Structure 1
Protein backbone atom coordinates (compact mmCIF):
# COMPACT_ATOMS: atom_id res chain seq x y z
CA UNK A 1 0.00 0.00 0.00
CA UNK A 2 1.76 3.12 -1.19
CA UNK A 3 0.88 6.54 -2.49
CA UNK A 4 2.51 9.01 -4.80
CA UNK A 5 4.28 10.53 -1.79
CA UNK A 6 7.87 11.52 -2.29
CA UNK A 7 10.47 12.30 0.34
CA UNK A 8 9.08 15.83 0.43
CA UNK A 9 6.46 16.61 3.01
CA UNK A 10 2.99 16.88 1.54
CA UNK A 11 1.58 18.83 4.44
CA UNK A 12 2.24 22.57 4.47
CA UNK A 13 2.28 25.00 7.35
CA UNK A 14 -0.95 26.46 5.98
CA UNK A 15 -2.61 23.04 6.24
CA UNK A 16 -1.53 22.71 9.86
CA UNK A 17 -2.66 26.20 10.85
CA UNK A 18 -6.02 25.60 9.20
CA UNK A 19 -6.42 22.29 11.02
CA UNK A 20 -5.87 24.08 14.34
CA UNK A 21 -8.99 26.20 13.89
CA UNK A 22 -11.25 24.23 11.54
CA UNK A 23 -14.67 22.92 12.52
CA UNK A 24 -13.18 19.73 13.96
CA UNK A 25 -10.58 21.46 16.14
CA UNK A 26 -13.04 24.04 17.46
CA UNK A 27 -15.82 21.49 17.84
CA UNK A 28 -14.08 18.93 20.02
CA UNK A 29 -16.92 19.02 22.53
CA UNK A 30 -19.78 19.22 20.03
CA UNK A 31 -19.80 15.56 19.01
CA UNK A 32 -18.66 14.30 22.42
CA UNK A 33 -20.20 10.99 23.46
CA UNK A 34 -19.53 8.46 26.20
CA UNK A 35 -18.22 5.53 24.12
CA UNK A 36 -15.51 7.40 22.14
CA UNK A 37 -15.77 11.00 23.35
CA UNK A 38 -13.91 13.36 20.90
CA UNK A 39 -13.22 10.81 18.15
CA UNK A 40 -15.37 12.33 15.37
CA UNK A 41 -14.08 15.86 15.91
CA UNK A 42 -10.44 14.70 15.92
CA UNK A 43 -10.95 12.77 12.69
CA UNK A 44 -12.68 15.77 11.12
CA UNK A 45 -9.82 18.02 12.24
CA UNK A 46 -7.13 16.08 10.37
CA UNK A 47 -9.32 14.79 7.53
CA UNK A 48 -8.17 17.39 4.91
CA UNK A 49 -4.56 16.39 5.50
CA UNK A 50 -5.38 12.68 5.34
CA UNK A 51 -6.98 13.32 1.94
CA UNK A 52 -3.70 14.82 0.70
CA UNK A 53 -1.58 12.01 2.10
CA UNK A 54 -3.78 9.25 0.69
CA UNK A 55 -4.82 11.04 -2.50
CA UNK A 56 -3.93 8.01 -4.67
CA UNK A 57 -4.85 5.35 -2.13
CA UNK A 58 -8.59 5.18 -1.30
CA UNK A 59 -8.10 2.00 0.71
CA UNK A 60 -5.36 3.56 2.79
CA UNK A 61 -7.51 6.65 3.32
CA UNK A 62 -10.39 4.50 4.57
CA UNK A 63 -8.08 2.67 6.98
CA UNK A 64 -6.74 5.99 8.27
CA UNK A 65 -10.27 7.28 8.89
CA UNK A 66 -11.07 4.08 10.76
CA UNK A 67 -7.97 4.54 12.93
CA UNK A 68 -8.91 8.07 13.87
CA UNK A 69 -12.49 7.39 14.92
CA UNK A 70 -11.16 5.34 17.82
CA UNK A 71 -11.51 6.66 21.37
CA UNK A 72 -9.94 10.08 21.87
CA UNK A 73 -10.16 12.60 24.68
CA UNK A 74 -7.88 15.49 25.55
CA UNK A 75 -7.87 19.14 26.56
CA UNK A 76 -9.26 20.67 23.32
CA UNK A 77 -6.47 23.25 23.00
CA UNK A 78 -3.88 20.46 22.81
CA UNK A 79 -5.72 18.37 20.21
CA UNK A 80 -3.94 20.09 17.25
CA UNK A 81 -0.57 19.10 18.74
CA UNK A 82 -1.57 15.44 18.78
CA UNK A 83 -3.09 15.92 15.33
CA UNK A 84 0.23 17.21 14.00
CA UNK A 85 2.07 14.18 15.37
CA UNK A 86 -0.59 11.81 14.00
CA UNK A 87 -0.42 13.36 10.52
CA UNK A 88 3.39 13.17 10.50
CA UNK A 89 3.11 9.48 11.37
CA UNK A 90 0.41 8.92 8.74
CA UNK A 91 2.85 10.10 6.08
CA UNK A 92 5.21 7.35 7.16
CA UNK A 93 2.38 4.84 7.23
CA UNK A 94 1.48 5.80 3.67
CA UNK A 95 5.09 5.17 2.59
CA UNK A 96 5.12 1.75 4.26
CA UNK A 97 7.68 2.83 6.86
CA UNK A 98 5.37 2.44 9.84
CA UNK A 99 2.46 0.28 10.95
CA UNK A 100 -0.89 1.99 11.36
CA UNK A 101 -1.26 0.56 14.86
CA UNK A 102 1.64 2.76 15.98
CA UNK A 103 -0.48 5.86 15.40
CA UNK A 104 -3.15 4.57 17.77
CA UNK A 105 -0.55 3.71 20.39
CA UNK A 106 1.03 7.15 20.30
CA UNK A 107 -2.32 8.91 20.50
CA UNK A 108 -3.30 6.79 23.49
CA UNK A 109 0.05 7.46 25.20
CA UNK A 110 -0.28 11.22 24.78
CA UNK A 111 -3.89 11.66 25.88
CA UNK A 112 -3.38 11.18 29.62
CA UNK A 113 -0.24 13.27 30.24
CA UNK A 114 -1.30 16.13 27.97
CA UNK A 115 -4.81 16.23 29.43
CA UNK A 116 -3.39 16.52 32.94
CA UNK A 117 -1.17 19.41 31.87
CA UNK A 118 -3.78 21.09 29.66
CA UNK A 119 -6.63 20.92 32.17
CA UNK A 120 -4.41 22.35 34.90
CA UNK A 121 -3.27 25.25 32.73
CA UNK A 122 -6.44 26.17 30.86
CA UNK A 123 -9.21 25.13 33.22
CA UNK A 124 -7.50 25.44 36.57
CA UNK A 125 -5.41 28.54 35.89
CA UNK A 126 -6.09 30.67 32.80
CA UNK A 127 -9.88 30.36 32.92
CA UNK A 128 -9.96 31.21 36.63
CA UNK A 129 -7.83 34.31 36.04
CA UNK A 130 -9.95 35.33 33.05
CA UNK A 131 -13.19 34.95 35.03
CA UNK A 132 -11.78 36.89 37.99
CA UNK A 133 -10.69 39.81 35.80
CA UNK A 134 -13.89 39.75 33.75
CA UNK A 135 -16.20 39.68 36.78
CA UNK A 136 -14.30 42.42 38.59
CA UNK A 137 -14.69 44.70 35.56
CA UNK A 138 -18.28 43.69 34.78
CA UNK A 139 -19.40 44.23 38.39
CA UNK A 140 -18.52 47.93 38.03
CA UNK A 141 -20.49 48.19 34.79
CA UNK A 142 -17.37 48.20 32.60
CA UNK A 143 -18.05 46.83 29.11
CA UNK A 144 -14.48 45.51 29.09
CA UNK A 145 -15.50 42.73 31.52
CA UNK A 146 -16.67 40.13 28.98
CA UNK A 147 -14.14 41.35 26.43
CA UNK A 148 -11.25 40.92 28.91
CA UNK A 149 -12.45 37.41 29.75
CA UNK A 150 -12.65 36.51 26.06
CA UNK A 151 -9.16 37.82 25.28
CA UNK A 152 -7.37 36.50 28.38
CA UNK A 153 -8.71 32.99 27.83
CA UNK A 154 -8.67 32.74 24.04
CA UNK A 155 -5.38 34.39 23.06
CA UNK A 156 -3.24 31.76 24.89
CA UNK A 157 -5.64 29.03 23.75
CA UNK A 158 -5.30 29.85 20.06
CA UNK A 159 -1.54 30.39 20.32
CA UNK A 160 -1.22 26.90 21.78
CA UNK A 161 -3.46 25.52 19.02
CA UNK A 162 -1.45 27.06 16.18
CA UNK A 163 2.02 26.47 17.61
CA UNK A 164 1.05 22.99 18.78
CA UNK A 165 -0.15 21.87 15.34
CA UNK A 166 3.09 23.01 13.66
CA UNK A 167 5.44 21.73 16.36
CA UNK A 168 3.61 18.42 16.64
CA UNK A 169 4.09 17.85 12.93
CA UNK A 170 7.74 18.92 13.04
CA UNK A 171 8.53 16.69 16.01
CA UNK A 172 6.43 13.83 14.74
CA UNK A 173 7.35 10.26 15.44
CA UNK A 174 11.07 11.01 15.71
CA UNK A 175 10.54 12.85 19.01
CA UNK A 176 8.76 9.86 20.50
CA UNK A 177 11.38 7.46 19.21
CA UNK A 178 14.22 9.53 20.68
CA UNK A 179 12.34 9.90 23.96
CA UNK A 180 11.90 6.14 24.13
CA UNK A 181 15.61 5.52 23.49
CA UNK A 182 16.63 7.95 26.22
CA UNK A 183 14.23 6.41 28.70
CA UNK A 184 12.13 9.57 28.90
CA UNK A 185 8.97 7.86 27.63
CA UNK A 186 9.20 5.23 30.37
CA UNK A 187 9.40 7.96 33.01
CA UNK A 188 6.56 9.88 31.38
CA UNK A 189 4.35 6.79 31.25
CA UNK A 190 5.12 6.00 34.90
CA UNK A 191 4.24 9.54 35.92
CA UNK A 192 1.17 9.43 33.69
CA UNK A 193 -0.02 6.30 35.45
CA UNK A 194 0.19 8.07 38.80
CA UNK A 195 -1.61 11.13 37.45
CA UNK A 196 -4.23 8.92 35.81
CA UNK A 197 -4.99 7.10 39.07
CA UNK A 198 -5.27 10.44 40.88
CA UNK A 199 -7.63 11.82 38.22
CA UNK A 200 -9.82 8.71 38.27
CA UNK A 201 -9.98 8.83 42.05
CA UNK A 202 -10.91 12.51 42.04
CA UNK A 203 -13.53 11.99 39.34
CA UNK A 204 -15.03 9.07 41.26
CA UNK A 205 -15.47 11.35 44.26
CA UNK A 206 -16.57 14.57 42.54
CA UNK A 207 -18.88 13.07 39.91
CA UNK A 208 -20.86 10.94 42.38
CA UNK A 209 -23.61 13.02 43.93
CA UNK A 210 -25.43 10.63 46.32
CA UNK A 211 -25.14 10.62 50.09
CA UNK A 212 -26.47 8.40 52.90
CA UNK A 213 -28.36 10.76 55.24
CA UNK A 214 -29.54 8.08 57.69
CA UNK A 215 -29.10 9.41 61.23
CA UNK A 216 -27.56 7.36 64.02
CA UNK A 217 -26.53 8.12 67.57
CA UNK A 218 -29.24 10.71 68.29
CA UNK A 219 -30.32 11.24 71.90
CA UNK A 220 -33.67 12.52 73.19
CA UNK A 221 -32.79 16.20 72.70
CA UNK A 222 -31.57 15.52 69.17
CA UNK A 223 -27.98 16.47 69.95
CA UNK A 224 -24.88 14.59 68.80
CA UNK A 225 -26.69 13.39 65.70
CA UNK A 226 -24.47 11.75 63.15
CA UNK A 227 -25.30 10.49 59.69
CA UNK A 228 -23.85 7.46 57.98
CA UNK A 229 -22.36 9.82 55.40
CA UNK A 230 -20.50 11.77 58.11
CA UNK A 231 -19.01 8.56 59.49
CA UNK A 232 -17.95 7.39 56.01
CA UNK A 233 -16.37 10.78 55.25
CA UNK A 234 -14.50 10.58 58.54
CA UNK A 235 -13.03 7.21 57.54
CA UNK A 236 -12.20 8.24 53.96
CA UNK A 237 -13.77 11.14 52.03
CA UNK A 238 -15.31 9.92 48.79
CA UNK A 239 -15.59 6.32 49.95
CA UNK A 240 -19.19 6.04 48.72
CA UNK A 241 -18.38 7.31 45.23
CA UNK A 242 -15.31 5.10 44.93
CA UNK A 243 -17.28 2.06 46.07
CA UNK A 244 -20.03 2.77 43.57
CA UNK A 245 -17.45 3.16 40.79
CA UNK A 246 -15.94 -0.25 41.56
CA UNK A 247 -19.39 -1.87 41.66
CA UNK A 248 -20.22 -0.46 38.22
CA UNK A 249 -16.80 -1.51 36.93
CA UNK A 250 -17.33 -5.04 38.24
CA UNK A 251 -20.80 -5.23 36.67
CA UNK A 252 -19.47 -4.02 33.32
CA UNK A 253 -16.76 -6.69 33.44
CA UNK A 254 -19.57 -9.20 33.99
CA UNK A 255 -21.03 -7.98 30.65
CA UNK A 256 -24.05 -6.32 32.24
CA UNK A 257 -25.73 -4.08 29.67
CA UNK A 258 -24.91 -0.38 30.42
CA UNK A 259 -28.53 0.56 29.69
CA UNK A 260 -29.65 -1.73 32.53
CA UNK A 261 -27.11 -0.05 34.81
CA UNK A 262 -28.43 3.40 33.89
CA UNK A 263 -32.03 2.31 34.41
CA UNK A 264 -31.18 0.58 37.69
CA UNK A 265 -29.35 3.69 38.92
CA UNK A 266 -32.36 5.87 38.17
CA UNK A 267 -34.73 3.52 40.00
CA UNK A 268 -32.37 3.18 42.99
CA UNK A 269 -32.02 6.96 43.22
CA UNK A 270 -35.77 7.60 43.19
CA UNK A 271 -36.51 4.80 45.68
CA UNK A 272 -33.58 5.79 47.90
CA UNK A 273 -34.66 9.44 48.14
CA UNK A 274 -38.30 8.48 48.70
CA UNK A 275 -37.49 6.19 51.64
CA UNK A 276 -34.72 8.45 52.94
CA UNK A 277 -31.69 6.17 52.76
CA UNK A 278 -30.15 8.19 49.90
CA UNK A 279 -29.86 11.92 49.53
Structure 2
Protein backbone atom coordinates (compact mmCIF):
# COMPACT_ATOMS: atom_id res chain seq x y z
CA UNK A 1 0.00 0.00 0.00
CA UNK A 2 1.31 3.45 -0.95
CA UNK A 3 0.43 4.92 2.42
CA UNK A 4 3.01 2.60 4.06
CA UNK A 5 5.97 3.67 1.88
CA UNK A 6 7.07 6.58 4.09
CA UNK A 7 6.67 4.77 7.40
CA UNK A 8 9.97 4.16 9.13
CA UNK A 9 11.07 0.92 10.75
CA UNK A 10 10.48 2.44 14.19
CA UNK A 11 6.98 3.54 13.17
CA UNK A 12 6.18 0.05 11.92
CA UNK A 13 7.33 -1.49 15.18
CA UNK A 14 5.14 0.94 17.11
CA UNK A 15 2.10 0.42 14.87
CA UNK A 16 2.46 -3.36 15.03
CA UNK A 17 2.50 -3.05 18.81
CA UNK A 18 -0.73 -1.02 18.66
CA UNK A 19 -2.26 -3.61 16.31
CA UNK A 20 -1.51 -6.56 18.60
CA UNK A 21 -2.60 -4.70 21.73
CA UNK A 22 -5.89 -3.70 20.06
CA UNK A 23 -7.17 -7.27 20.48
CA UNK A 24 -7.46 -6.58 24.23
CA UNK A 25 -9.36 -3.29 23.89
CA UNK A 26 -12.62 -4.83 25.15
CA UNK A 27 -10.98 -6.97 27.82
CA UNK A 28 -11.70 -4.39 30.50
CA UNK A 29 -14.48 -1.92 31.15
CA UNK A 30 -14.27 1.07 33.50
CA UNK A 31 -17.98 1.54 34.08
CA UNK A 32 -20.55 3.47 32.09
CA UNK A 33 -18.64 6.76 32.21
CA UNK A 34 -15.38 5.52 30.67
CA UNK A 35 -16.39 2.24 29.00
CA UNK A 36 -13.28 0.75 27.31
CA UNK A 37 -10.90 3.63 28.01
CA UNK A 38 -8.39 1.34 29.83
CA UNK A 39 -8.20 -0.92 26.77
CA UNK A 40 -7.65 2.06 24.49
CA UNK A 41 -4.90 3.45 26.72
CA UNK A 42 -3.15 0.07 26.75
CA UNK A 43 -3.45 -0.18 22.95
CA UNK A 44 -1.92 3.24 22.18
CA UNK A 45 0.69 3.00 24.97
CA UNK A 46 3.53 2.22 22.47
CA UNK A 47 2.93 5.62 20.85
CA UNK A 48 2.58 7.55 24.10
CA UNK A 49 5.66 5.96 25.65
CA UNK A 50 7.67 6.60 22.52
CA UNK A 51 6.77 10.22 21.80
CA UNK A 52 6.89 11.35 25.42
CA UNK A 53 9.88 9.25 26.41
CA UNK A 54 11.81 12.29 27.66
CA UNK A 55 8.77 14.21 28.86
CA UNK A 56 7.19 12.53 31.91
CA UNK A 57 4.69 15.34 32.41
CA UNK A 58 3.64 15.24 28.77
CA UNK A 59 3.22 11.46 28.98
CA UNK A 60 1.10 11.80 32.11
CA UNK A 61 -1.12 14.37 30.40
CA UNK A 62 -1.43 12.13 27.32
CA UNK A 63 -2.59 9.19 29.42
CA UNK A 64 -5.02 11.43 31.27
CA UNK A 65 -6.49 12.60 27.93
CA UNK A 66 -7.41 9.07 27.03
CA UNK A 67 -9.18 8.20 30.27
CA UNK A 68 -12.33 9.57 28.64
CA UNK A 69 -15.15 7.35 27.39
CA UNK A 70 -14.24 5.09 24.46
CA UNK A 71 -16.35 2.56 22.57
CA UNK A 72 -15.95 1.79 18.85
CA UNK A 73 -16.43 -1.42 16.90
CA UNK A 74 -13.04 -2.95 17.57
CA UNK A 75 -12.32 -4.04 13.98
CA UNK A 76 -12.42 -0.44 12.73
CA UNK A 77 -11.32 1.22 15.97
CA UNK A 78 -7.66 0.76 15.04
CA UNK A 79 -8.09 3.60 12.55
CA UNK A 80 -8.64 5.91 15.52
CA UNK A 81 -5.67 4.38 17.34
CA UNK A 82 -3.39 5.09 14.38
CA UNK A 83 -4.86 8.57 14.04
CA UNK A 84 -4.33 9.30 17.73
CA UNK A 85 -0.72 8.08 17.46
CA UNK A 86 -0.17 10.50 14.57
CA UNK A 87 -1.71 13.42 16.46
CA UNK A 88 0.18 12.64 19.66
CA UNK A 89 3.38 12.72 17.63
CA UNK A 90 2.52 16.23 16.38
CA UNK A 91 1.61 17.31 19.89
CA UNK A 92 4.97 16.11 21.21
CA UNK A 93 6.83 17.92 18.43
CA UNK A 94 4.85 21.16 18.19
CA UNK A 95 4.37 23.21 21.36
CA UNK A 96 1.43 25.18 19.91
CA UNK A 97 -0.52 22.05 18.91
CA UNK A 98 -4.06 21.91 20.33
CA UNK A 99 -4.01 18.73 22.44
CA UNK A 100 -7.75 18.96 23.05
CA UNK A 101 -8.35 18.30 19.34
CA UNK A 102 -7.03 14.76 19.82
CA UNK A 103 -9.84 13.79 22.18
CA UNK A 104 -12.38 15.82 20.18
CA UNK A 105 -11.59 14.00 16.94
CA UNK A 106 -11.48 10.61 18.64
CA UNK A 107 -14.90 11.23 20.19
CA UNK A 108 -16.42 12.52 16.94
CA UNK A 109 -15.36 9.35 15.09
CA UNK A 110 -16.96 6.90 17.51
CA UNK A 111 -20.48 7.16 16.12
CA UNK A 112 -19.74 7.12 12.36
CA UNK A 113 -17.09 4.41 12.54
CA UNK A 114 -19.22 2.23 14.82
CA UNK A 115 -22.14 2.61 12.41
CA UNK A 116 -19.99 1.39 9.53
CA UNK A 117 -18.20 -1.27 11.56
CA UNK A 118 -21.39 -2.71 13.07
CA UNK A 119 -23.12 -2.78 9.67
CA UNK A 120 -20.24 -4.47 7.87
CA UNK A 121 -18.90 -6.87 10.49
CA UNK A 122 -21.96 -7.62 12.65
CA UNK A 123 -24.67 -7.09 10.02
CA UNK A 124 -22.98 -8.55 6.92
CA UNK A 125 -19.80 -10.58 7.41
CA UNK A 126 -20.91 -12.31 10.61
CA UNK A 127 -24.29 -13.13 9.07
CA UNK A 128 -22.67 -14.57 5.95
CA UNK A 129 -20.18 -16.55 8.06
CA UNK A 130 -22.99 -17.86 10.28
CA UNK A 131 -25.09 -18.80 7.26
CA UNK A 132 -22.28 -20.85 5.73
CA UNK A 133 -21.23 -22.32 9.07
CA UNK A 134 -24.72 -23.28 10.22
CA UNK A 135 -25.57 -24.85 6.85
CA UNK A 136 -22.51 -27.10 6.97
CA UNK A 137 -22.86 -27.85 10.68
CA UNK A 138 -26.51 -28.88 10.13
CA UNK A 139 -25.21 -31.47 7.69
CA UNK A 140 -22.81 -32.79 10.29
CA UNK A 141 -19.70 -31.29 8.70
CA UNK A 142 -16.81 -30.20 10.93
CA UNK A 143 -16.10 -27.46 8.36
CA UNK A 144 -19.10 -25.54 9.74
CA UNK A 145 -17.40 -23.91 12.75
CA UNK A 146 -14.04 -23.75 10.96
CA UNK A 147 -15.40 -21.80 7.98
CA UNK A 148 -17.43 -19.58 10.29
CA UNK A 149 -14.26 -18.53 12.11
CA UNK A 150 -12.25 -18.11 8.90
CA UNK A 151 -14.88 -16.15 6.95
CA UNK A 152 -15.36 -13.71 9.81
CA UNK A 153 -11.86 -13.39 11.25
CA UNK A 154 -9.75 -13.12 8.09
CA UNK A 155 -11.35 -9.86 6.86
CA UNK A 156 -11.70 -8.63 10.45
CA UNK A 157 -8.00 -9.06 11.24
CA UNK A 158 -6.83 -7.65 7.88
CA UNK A 159 -9.07 -4.62 8.32
CA UNK A 160 -7.81 -4.10 11.85
CA UNK A 161 -4.18 -4.25 10.66
CA UNK A 162 -4.42 -1.94 7.63
CA UNK A 163 -6.61 0.61 9.38
CA UNK A 164 -3.93 0.98 12.04
CA UNK A 165 -1.48 2.09 9.35
CA UNK A 166 -4.11 4.10 7.47
CA UNK A 167 -5.02 6.15 10.52
CA UNK A 168 -1.37 6.93 11.20
CA UNK A 169 -0.50 7.70 7.57
CA UNK A 170 -3.46 9.75 6.48
CA UNK A 171 -4.07 11.67 9.69
CA UNK A 172 -7.02 13.96 10.24
CA UNK A 173 -7.22 15.05 6.57
CA UNK A 174 -8.74 11.70 5.59
CA UNK A 175 -11.84 12.01 7.72
CA UNK A 176 -12.37 15.57 6.52
CA UNK A 177 -12.30 14.42 2.88
CA UNK A 178 -14.62 11.46 3.39
CA UNK A 179 -17.19 13.68 5.09
CA UNK A 180 -16.84 16.43 2.48
CA UNK A 181 -17.51 14.19 -0.53
CA UNK A 182 -20.35 12.29 1.16
CA UNK A 183 -18.60 8.90 1.06
CA UNK A 184 -19.23 8.22 4.75
CA UNK A 185 -23.01 8.47 4.34
CA UNK A 186 -23.04 6.36 1.17
CA UNK A 187 -20.85 3.64 2.69
CA UNK A 188 -22.97 3.48 5.83
CA UNK A 189 -26.20 3.22 3.81
CA UNK A 190 -24.83 0.54 1.47
CA UNK A 191 -23.55 -1.60 4.35
CA UNK A 192 -26.87 -1.33 6.21
CA UNK A 193 -28.84 -2.30 3.09
CA UNK A 194 -26.64 -5.32 2.40
CA UNK A 195 -26.96 -6.40 6.01
CA UNK A 196 -30.77 -6.29 5.85
CA UNK A 197 -30.74 -8.32 2.62
CA UNK A 198 -28.57 -11.00 4.23
CA UNK A 199 -30.76 -11.17 7.35
CA UNK A 200 -33.87 -11.52 5.17
CA UNK A 201 -32.24 -14.29 3.12
CA UNK A 202 -31.21 -16.20 6.24
CA UNK A 203 -34.71 -15.88 7.70
CA UNK A 204 -36.27 -17.32 4.54
CA UNK A 205 -33.81 -20.22 4.25
CA UNK A 206 -33.12 -21.19 7.88
CA UNK A 207 -36.21 -20.43 9.99
CA UNK A 208 -38.52 -23.40 9.43
CA UNK A 209 -42.09 -24.08 10.57
CA UNK A 210 -44.10 -26.74 8.75
CA UNK A 211 -47.37 -27.72 10.39
CA UNK A 212 -48.47 -31.36 10.38
CA UNK A 213 -52.06 -30.48 11.23
CA UNK A 214 -54.69 -31.61 8.77
CA UNK A 215 -58.46 -31.70 8.56
CA UNK A 216 -59.81 -35.20 7.77
CA UNK A 217 -62.33 -35.46 4.92
CA UNK A 218 -64.62 -38.48 4.64
CA UNK A 219 -63.88 -40.35 1.45
CA UNK A 220 -61.12 -37.98 0.39
CA UNK A 221 -57.65 -36.69 1.16
CA UNK A 222 -57.25 -34.68 4.37
CA UNK A 223 -56.77 -30.94 4.01
CA UNK A 224 -53.27 -29.99 5.13
CA UNK A 225 -53.09 -26.69 7.02
CA UNK A 226 -49.55 -26.02 5.80
CA UNK A 227 -50.82 -25.91 2.20
CA UNK A 228 -53.09 -22.98 3.03
CA UNK A 229 -50.31 -21.24 4.92
CA UNK A 230 -48.13 -21.47 1.81
CA UNK A 231 -50.93 -20.23 -0.46
CA UNK A 232 -51.64 -17.30 1.81
CA UNK A 233 -47.99 -16.23 2.20
CA UNK A 234 -44.95 -18.44 1.68
CA UNK A 235 -43.02 -18.60 4.94
CA UNK A 236 -45.70 -16.66 6.84
CA UNK A 237 -45.18 -18.39 10.20
CA UNK A 238 -41.33 -18.27 10.13
CA UNK A 239 -41.53 -14.57 9.25
CA UNK A 240 -44.00 -13.99 12.07
CA UNK A 241 -41.73 -15.75 14.58
CA UNK A 242 -38.74 -13.73 13.39
CA UNK A 243 -40.60 -10.43 13.66
CA UNK A 244 -41.83 -11.41 17.13
CA UNK A 245 -38.24 -12.05 18.27
CA UNK A 246 -37.17 -8.73 16.75
CA UNK A 247 -39.99 -6.94 18.56
CA UNK A 248 -38.98 -8.54 21.86
CA UNK A 249 -35.38 -7.43 21.30
CA UNK A 250 -36.58 -3.87 20.63
CA UNK A 251 -38.35 -4.02 24.00
CA UNK A 252 -35.01 -4.84 25.67
CA UNK A 253 -35.97 -8.43 26.47
CA UNK A 254 -32.84 -10.45 27.28
CA UNK A 255 -31.79 -12.54 24.27
CA UNK A 256 -31.36 -15.62 26.50
CA UNK A 257 -35.03 -15.47 27.49
CA UNK A 258 -36.00 -15.19 23.82
CA UNK A 259 -33.89 -18.24 22.91
CA UNK A 260 -35.38 -20.18 25.84
CA UNK A 261 -38.89 -19.18 24.77
CA UNK A 262 -38.32 -20.34 21.18
CA UNK A 263 -36.89 -23.64 22.47
CA UNK A 264 -39.85 -24.26 24.80
CA UNK A 265 -42.30 -23.30 22.02
CA UNK A 266 -40.66 -25.75 19.59
CA UNK A 267 -40.74 -28.59 22.16
CA UNK A 268 -44.41 -28.00 22.99
CA UNK A 269 -45.39 -27.82 19.29
CA UNK A 270 -43.46 -31.03 18.63
CA UNK A 271 -45.07 -32.89 21.56
CA UNK A 272 -48.53 -31.78 20.44
CA UNK A 273 -47.82 -32.99 16.92
CA UNK A 274 -48.36 -29.55 15.41
CA UNK A 275 -44.95 -29.50 13.69
TM-score (norm 1): 0.60
**Residues 1:10 and 1:152: Cα distance change in structure 2 (over 3 Å):** closer
Is 1:14 the equivalent of 2:13?
A: yes
Any gaps of 5 or more consecutive residues in structure 2?
A: 1-6, 190-246, 253-275
Equivalent residue for 2:180, pick from 157, 175, 184: 184
Shift of 1:26: 1.1
Any gaps of 5 or more consecutive residues in structure 1?
A: 1-7, 196-236, 243-279
Shift of 1:11: 5.1
State the Cα deviation string for residues 257-279 of structure 1 (Å, max 9, x = none): xxxxxxxxxxxxxxxxxxxxxxx
Rounded to whole Å, the distance in 2 between the matches of 1:174 and 1:108 is 16
- 1:55 corresponding residue in structure 2: 53
Of Structure 1 and Structure 2, which has the larger fraction of its residues in helix? Answer: 2
- Cα RMSD of the aligned pairs, angstroms, is 3.0
- 2:132 corresponding residue in structure 1: 133
Shift of 1:20: 1.3
Aligned ranges 1:253-272 → 2 under 5 Å: none
Radius of gyration: which is bigger?
2
Shift of 1:241: 6.6
Rounded to whole Å, the distance in 2 between the matches of 1:84 and 1:63 is 19
- 2:155 corresponding residue in structure 1: 156
- 2:83 corresponding residue in structure 1: 85
How many residues of Structure 1 are paired with residues of Structure 2 in the alignment? Answer: 185
Shift of 1:16: 0.9
**Residues 1:47 and 1:154: Cα distance change in structure 2 (over 3 Å):** same
Shift of 1:9: 6.8
Rounded to whole Å, the distance in 2 between the matches of 1:19 and 1:124 is 26
Say which SS state the counterpart of residue 131 (structure 1) adopts: helix
Shift of 1:79: 1.5
Rounded to whole Å, the distance in 1 between the matches of 2:9 and 2:58 is 16
Rounded to whole Å, the distance in 1 between the matches of 2:147 and 2:183 is 36
Say which SS state the counterpart of residue 34 (structure 1) adopts: helix
TM-score (norm 2): 0.61
State the Cα deviation string for residues 63-99 of structure 1 (Å, max 9, x = none): 0001111111110111111000001000111112411
Rounded to whole Å, the distance in 2 between the matches of 1:188 and 1:132 is 29
- 1:40 corresponding residue in structure 2: 38
State the Cα deviation string for residues 99-140 of structure 1 (Å, max 9, x = none): 110101110111111000000000001001111111111111
Rounded to whole Å, the distance in 2 between the matches of 1:59 and 1:188 is 40
Rounded to whole Å, the distance in 1 between the matches of 2:106 and 2:19 is 17
